[in-house]
Amino acid sequence: MNPEPSQSALIGRQRLVALQNFFKEEAASWLFVLKTLIAALIALWLAYRLELESPKTAVVTVFIVMQARTGMVLAKGFYRALGTIIGSGVALLLVAAFAQERVMFLIGLAIWVGMLTAGATIYRNFQSYAFVLAGYTACLVGLPAAMDPNAAFDIAVTRLTEVLLGILVASTISGLVFPLSIRELLLSAALKRFATFANSSGRALSFGVPTEEWGSLHLKAINEIVTLDSYRSVGIFDNPKTRLQNQTILRMSADLIAAASTLHVLNRHILRLNDPSMNAVREALDPLLATGVRLLQTHVPTSAFEAQQLMSYIGEWQAEIQKHKSRILAENTFSPEQQLAFDTALMLLEQFIDEFRHYGRSHSALQDARIIEDDDQAPPLIQHGRHATDFSQPLIAGLRTVLMLGAMSVFWINSAWPTGVLALTIAVVVSALFSTAPNPAKMVFQLWQGIALSFVAAFAFQFMVLPNLHGFTQLTFGLIPFLAFAAYLMTRPKWGAIGVGFGMFFSTLAIPDNVTQFNYAGLLNSGIALLVSATIAALAFLTVMPMGNQLSRYRMMRALNRQLIVACLNPLTGLRPQFERDSRELLRQIAGMRGFNTAKDRATLTDALTIQELGSAVLELRTLLGQPHSLDAARLSSVQTAISALARFYRHRNQRNLRALRQAFNNVIPQVFDQVFDNKGKEPTSNDRKIQIYLHLIQLQVQAIPDIDRPAAPEPEVSKEVAGYAA
Amino acid sequence: MPREIPLFDALIPTLLLILIGSALIYVLIDQLLRDVDWDRFVWHPALFRFALFVILFSGLGLWWYS
């Protein structure tokens, strides 16, 4: 027997592990700092050597592009180059068209920037970033060029050269100096998702997870899938192995979403079984569930191997269920209602295990860098990196930028502000950059802090450090502490925006041009312009249709409702993955809105979960209706009527439609029951039973929809859930 | 050797053409090497690639200007 380790030894070991983790983390941070410094200084040196107009732009670019993983740097660099090229082209076009007409020029610029800011909210990941850049580069190049139209072409070319130099250097350094592939990050994120999924399925199967908690689990899962997808999109720029994995990851996400949506329906059903009238069903199910619950709750996979092991146990469990289910069915005598509940649970359980095994298989294929050959399913539809949203979202983002640009232009023209160009440019940059962030005002505030810090630091640098430096080597040593500080801040997620702001604007303010000028008044003017523009951008985010305003909430909720209508009425081909993907994406955006946590929002979340469940069930039902079954024409049409009543209710949610919906399902259920009981002598074909089960699931959900005209009673959701059967 | 070449009456630095040419050759070689799964034999694939490109580009450039 081992002696119990003493308390102090345990604490000591814990401290050691914590210390190790700390150093591991710190080492990664300092590696990043080192890479950023090398890249920034090489870019600066090259820019001086090539005698570019403003070498600082190259350094600023390095700070913007630099990230921990090589693939991310390449991706961001690629899209940044793309955006810069397009933006410069448009700027030249605008200057050529409206060189003398500043109002027309500014209007044209505002329209361009507004359009691209709107575009940025439609696309995701780095594609969105390219939109942002094409928008604000037009500002960055166009405004100085419009001041001096004769030099416009030179300004554009210089700007392009400097940015491309920065991108080139940053990509090369990040690829050559201790390159970090996105692959491990991807694999560990995939494993974590798998482990969490296994764990929450264990909990769902044992007694069901209450709706409210399930909502937050659901959101976490959606966000993790989005993160995985962003890694995937970066992987295209990573090494060739990750490139080949693209299809496997898409496949895994699709399998995961399929399993998750079945689990979602199953969880709600198991919650209903907690009702006392369903005790017999619960007891009959327990022996079937017990093995799985034990497996999923005790085996938390921490490696790809353990995940595979868990899947093989799950396979055994599936065989066990196959073996025992007919015996359990024979042993128990249920009332018809209980029988239906039992069959529902069993069918969902079997479907879930099947899909879970698919997911496990594609997950281990990803971990082992294999490619799944047998494509029995169409690959999922994630195309063009676009995501579902309501058109109000891009419209609001675009309008906000246009308004801000307009207001600042009016102020600039009327006050003849000398640094107005800089202020206008930076305001556009800031508002475009953060227009896709979930909480832009907070990010802008962080950036503001970064600017303020960099303002002070730039003063110190120009007053005290720069006059004593001679030559590039000494300049390097003068810059290192400041740049290292910025790079280190960038590694802390909490202060990321401060770090970026400091790095960008310290470089802008402090790094001397090829001909060093000591212009303190100019520095003061620029610094004030930066602070003012960031303040105005923050104000625009806070006041002009702030994130999570009533209108966007309403529109997004409507878009989510429309998903269900689509699920009810559109042609079935490819509809299921599309529904699962789009409804999740919309829910993610709704939940990402600022201040999403009030009681009303929780009702929204419950509503969204209901839509998810109803949509999955309706899609299954419609698929089943397309397969051979023995429903006659009259019954079939009554089922169709019920489905269209569902769509009608989600188009106009009022009490009349709700009553019609309930009526439709109350009519259809006994009819289909009749048919099954008519056939009682023969074994009902399993499709008939399944149709009945899905109708039953939808009906339970429909009954749980709260009445509309009554002000929503503060009834706890859980009791309503259980009341599905009690009612 | 001419330092600049007129292309549709615009003077293009010859070095730019050499850059494009060596990039094409590099892509070709990279494709061929990928078929033999070369990165099993290389410690730092990215560095190897980078060096390959630098050798190609500077080799061609020196050859052209010598």
Q: Which residues of B touch A239 (CB under 8 A)?
A: 45
Which tokens belong to A691? 């149709």
pLDDT digits (tens, 9 = 90+) for A187-213: 888 888 888 888 888 888 887 788 778
**Which residues, at least 6 apart from A273, have a Cβ–Cβ distance to it below 8 Å?**
A208, A281, A282, A285, A341, A345
For the domain spanning A550-726, the CATH number is 1.20.58
**Which residues, at least 6 apart from A396, have a Cβ–Cβ distance to it below 8 Å?**
A545, A551, A552
* Among B32, B40, B44, the residue to mutate for chain A (most A Cβ within 10 A): B44
CA-nearest residue of chain A to B47? Answer: A176
The answer to whether the Cβ–Cβ distance between B46 and A240 falls below 8 Å is no
**Which residues, at least 6 apart from A710, have a Cβ–Cβ distance to it below 8 Å?**
none
CA-nearest residue of chain B to A180? Answer: B46
CA–CA dist A177, A173 (Å, integer) = 6
pLDDT digits (tens, 9 = 90+) for A101-141: 888 888 888 899 988 888 888 887 778 888 888 888 888 88
Is the pLDDT at A720 greater than 60, yes or no?
no
Residue B47 sits at the chain A interface (C-beta within 8 Å) = yes
Residues of chain A with pLDDT > 90, as a percent, come to: 5
Buried b (16+ CB within 10 A) or exposed e, A313-335: ebeebbeebeeeeeebeeeeebe
Query: Is A165 within 8 Å of A47 (Cβ atoms)?
Result: yes
Is the pLDDT at A71 greater than 80, yes or no?
yes
Is the pLDDT at A437 greater than 60, yes or no?
yes
The answer to whether the Cβ–Cβ distance between A176 and B46 falls below 8 Å is yes
CA distance A204 to chain B (A): 45
Which range (A601-605, A612-616, B46-50) has the least confidence? Answer: A601-605
A182-367 against A550-726: fold identical = yes
Per CATH, which fold does A182-367 belong to?
A: Methane Monooxygenase Hydroxylase; Chain G, domain 1 (1.20.58)
Q: Which residues of A touch B12 (CB under 8 A)?
A: none
Q: What are phi and psi of B13, to 5 degrees?
A: -65, 135
Better pLDDT: A31 or A234: A31
CA–CA dist B62, B55 (Å, integer) = 10
Q: Tell me, what's the pLDDT at A712?
A: 47
Residues of chain A with pLDDT > 70, as a percent, come to: 90
Q: What is the DSSP letter of A435?
A: T
The answer to whether the Cβ–Cβ distance between A175 and B50 falls below 8 Å is yes
CA–CA dist A513, A624 (Å, integer) = 71
Query: Is A143 within 8 Å of A184 (Cβ atoms)?
Result: no
Q: Tell me, what's the pLDDT at B55?
A: 94
Query: Is A507 within 8 Å of A60 (Cβ atoms)?
Result: yes
Give chain B's residues under pLDDT 50: none
What average pLDDT does chain A have?
A: 81
Q: Would you mind telling me the total number of residues written for chain A in this entry? A: 727
- Residue A379, CB-side half-sphere exposure with 13 Å CA sphere: 11
Is the pLDDT at A726 greater than 70, yes or no?
no
**Which residues, at least 6 apart from A5, have a Cβ–Cβ distance to it below 8 Å?**
A13
Domain ranges of chain A: 24-180+390-543, 182-367, 550-726
CA-nearest residue of chain B to A174? Answer: B46
Q: Which residues of A touch B46 (CB under 8 A)?
A: 70, 175-176, 179
Q: What is the DSSP letter of A123?
A: B
Give the rounded distance of the alpha carbon of A304 from its chain centre.
25
Which amino acid, one-letter code, is at A526?
A: S
